[in-house]
Amino acid sequence: MPFPDDFLGVDDVTTPQLLELLDAADRLKAGRSSRPADGSGGLRGRTIALVFEKPSTRTRVSFQVAVTELGGEPLPLSSAELQLGRGETIADTGAVLSRYVHAVVVRTFGQDRLQELADGATVPVVNALTDLEHPCQALADLQTFREVHGSFEGRSLAYVGDGNNVANSLLLAGAKVGLSVRIGHPEGYAPDAAITARARDLAAASGARILLTTDPVEAVVGADAVYADVWASMGQEAEASQRAEQFVPYRVTSELMGHAADGAVFLHCLPAHRGEEVTAEVIDGPASRVFDQAENRLHAQKALLAALLS
């Protein structure tokens, strides 16, 4: 099956394609340390627009380095530099950019904005984060999990906190590869219902199990990885104090980690707020793999760009 034209969400790729991306990311990671990047990675002569309507550290830097190491030319663009939905329609922006560049990577707000740009574009469009999904993060998460545990079969990952875009993509990604995903969330903060239903369908085929619970201990018991994210994402700053009160029981502490399986690791997409969603003892402790995750954004995204533009 040919690789899809766009990568707007985890479900855009099949399970074999997802596993192929992870294998390619592993090869790229191993090769990077043994030889310098020489620009021969398949993007020579190609320009990739990096459109950011939200601030970014890991996503912007990892994509910019990925394009450069693959031999392409990154073109970073902020919302202040474009007329997305203001002077012209988002679809028209996609059409115009397609006349100049070979792919568009977009970090934006609503999934509808990303979809509209992709509808207007004639080049591949990549979701670098929306309010609904963070699929590139999920690629790096799976790569990191497999590096630690070797496989997904019979394994489980517990995500504790807000059922946000990261949780949504983890549900889909885990279900596709046979990794059971348990979400421990406060009442009223469950992952997207449609995505959860789709994940359950995928899990039925892969042998994974999906669990949503308001009990953080139930989510974590026996898990091979425990995952946390910030309690208030970008655009939710006004809710921060209210969320802080509701989310305290979901803080990842050494005590909560003690319910996980032997050899369990701690994961976080970063940036992290020590003392809020995770204690310093956990994130800075021996079980933490958060900086491996951050690094793997680079390798997974290189694999994705190469697949989209091959």
- CATH class assigned to 10-133+294-308: alpha beta
Residue with structure tokens 């990952």? Answer: 157
In 144-188, DSSP assigns E strands to 156-160, 180-184
Known catalytic membership, residue 134: yes
48: left (phi over 0), alpha (psi -120 to 50) or beta: beta
Known catalytic membership, residue 297: yes
The lowest-confidence range among 51-65, 143-157, 178-192, 226-240 is 226-240
Out of 136, 229, 268, 301, the active site residue is: 229
Out of 268, 269, 289, 301, the active site residue is: 269
Q: For 162-206, write each residue's pLDDT tens digit.
A: 999 999 999 999 999 999 999 999 999 999 999 999 999 999 999
Out of 137, 143, 293, 301, the active site residue is: 137
Q: Is 137-291 in the same CATH topology as 10-133+294-308?
A: yes
Q: How large is the average pLDDT for residues 121-131?
A: 98
Out of 149, 268, 297, 299, the active site residue is: 297
The answer to whether 137 and 110 have CB atoms below 8 angstroms apart is no
Known catalytic membership, residue 269: yes
Q: What is the pLDDT of residue 161?
A: 97
Q: For 2-59, write each residue's pLDDT tens digit.
A: 999 999 999 999 999 999 999 999 999 999 975 545 555 789 999 999 999 988 899 9
CA dist 254 and 63 (Å) reads: 34
Q: What is the pLDDT of residue 55?
A: 84
Residue with structure tokens 């830097």? Answer: 61
Residue type at position 81: E
- Residue from 303, 310, 305 nearest 20 by CA: 303
The answer to whether 122 and 67 have CB atoms below 8 angstroms apart is no
Which CATH number does 137-291 carry?
A: 3.40.50.1370
How far from 153 is each of 85, 100, 150, 181, 219, CA to CA, in Å?
A: 44, 43, 9, 12, 18
What's the order of all strands across the beta sheet hosting 225-228?
210-213, 180-184, 156-160, 225-228, 265-268
This prediction's pTM: 0.95
How far from 174 is each of 48, 52, 170, 236, CA to CA, in Å?
A: 29, 27, 6, 26
DSSP string, 135-166: HHHHHHHHHHHHHHHS--TT-EEEEES---HH
Domain assignments of the chain as residue spans, ordered by start: 10-133+294-308, 137-291
Out of 102, 134, 146, 198, the active site residue is: 134
Sign of CA dihedral 217, 219, 224, 225: negative
Known catalytic membership, residue 229: yes
Q: What is the pLDDT of residue 265?
A: 98
CA dist 243 and 223 (Å) reads: 25
CA dist 11 and 198 (Å) reads: 9
Tokens at residue 110, please? 């609503």
Give the percent of the chain with pLDDT over 70.
94
